[in-house]
Structure 1
Amino acid sequence: MKNIHSNPTPLRQKFIEYLTLNRKAERTVHCYVSFIYSLAKHYRRSPDLLSHEDIQHWLYHLIAERKQAPSTINLAINSVRSFYGKLLQQDIEPLLHRIKRPRRPARVPRVYSMAEIEKLLTVGTEGNLRARAFLSCVYGGGLRLSEATHIQIKDLDGARHRLVVSHPKGGRQRYTLLSDNLLTVLRDYYRQTRPKTFLFPGLEPLVPINKGTGQSIFYGAVAKAKLPDRGGIHCLRHSFATHCLENGIEITVVQRLLGHASLMTTAGYLHIRAERLAQIQSPLGLLDLKSPLLDR
């Protein structure tokens, strides 16, 4: 569903207002409304006229016939709970409790080493100060792409060495790091470009660059530095988290810097890079095993 606000029915408008008043992010509102729209379209009836058996069959259709990803199924279940359980005040939980939520397969985040990050930000951005400033913000603050594109001048607090993440996922503003190295790059960039509102404006000075441009900046730097692709610009956020933990920063601090609601999400970065593994010595290697074997 491209535009949930285009000629909405009274019921859809009521659902939009309910989600918005409950402080759901814009993307979440669009996602939940789209799922309920798809459910109604599947049966060609208004969703408030559907039975719980209808809802169960629709979820079965998504899982067994359309073979949707675990994340999609979880979003569909959340949408049903919000619409029927919260908005319409129906007792939907007995149905949802019979459906086992699929688990997303655990994946170890793909990250760059610190040497590769240094190469990306120097060789990869040579002669392009905007690229160096943008990618330094993404890595240096552990930012999501949309958070980096929406950085405003007023978000920079050089005196306290902190950056306000003013466009966060889920709407929860937070502070992250603003190091001396990043400040130096940003001051050079500011003197050269003089942005007015957004640190990285798009074609219009009062509009931020779009996410596609941000990804293009990243891929251009990766190609120029001749580095492997680790899965798009989001790997810089993964790298930031991993490097923080490897350098002894407490996991609860990293959680707040990343803006994770759950510590379990941050714990996903407690993996060991291959380069780091090569530096670690087994406890067996610390033992003196040169003494002769006992005679038999």
Structure 2
Amino acid sequence: MAISPEAEVHVSAVIEDGASIAAGCKVGPFCVVGPKVVLHAGVELKSHAIVIGDTEIGEDSVVFSFAVIGEIPQDLKFKGEASKLVIGKRNRIREHVTMNCGTEGGGGLTKIGDDGLFMAGCHVAHDAQIGDRVILVNSVAVAGHCIIEDDVIVGGLSGVHQFVRIGRGAIIGAVCMVTNDVIPYGLVQGPRGQLDGLNLVGLKRRGVPREDISALRKAFQELGNGEGSFQERSKRVGENAESDYVKEIIDFVLGESDRSYLTPQ
């Protein structure tokens, strides 16, 4: 056990031998910290938080009450193999959130980026890869092997099917079931998750130049209309693309995936 003398650990907390707790950490009443857990500087566990498994939590992250972080995957194929959960810096993990370690079949690693907000009741399953500044609103469920890129927002009570990729800057409305890949900057709405436009509000908030937004809107229209399959249309758009934002969408569509794509309506 390595507990920094500059950490604050409540007398009722259970810290198992082998855990590493850095300076500035706060471990509240009735928390449980497993023997392979690493808490970096400034991490705070509020009362009754549970962090177990081979789990690492980055600097200045906060885990709120009754969250369970690092438990084994909800996967019948899991046979107890070594796997990890790595959480980045400055994340806010709210009440009753669950995040699972990886599986051998998925690479053995569930990874969370920096500066995320995971609201109450969210679930991040085994082998998911979550980028920076991601927001999962209350009760979002992210299935195994999903990839959610930077700056994505997923609305409350939505579900993301296993192996789905959600591109950078996309936004998913509330109460959606997302079963196919979402292009970067896409806007998804409806119970069965339809691609209904671009996340124009998010683009404007990030200060994306007007000419790039215009190029994105034109590309979106071209992707939704014309001859050939979605990928064939994407290749044609990519041949004439000058905006880096449009090129990012085309690279995403033409990349490897285990799912098909939500296409423009």
Fold shared by both chains (TM-score > 0.5): no
Give the TM interval when normalised to the shorter protein.
Answer: under 0.3
RCO higher in structure (CA 8 A, sep ≥6): 1
In proportion to residue count, which structure has more strand?
Answer: 2
Higher fraction of helix: 1
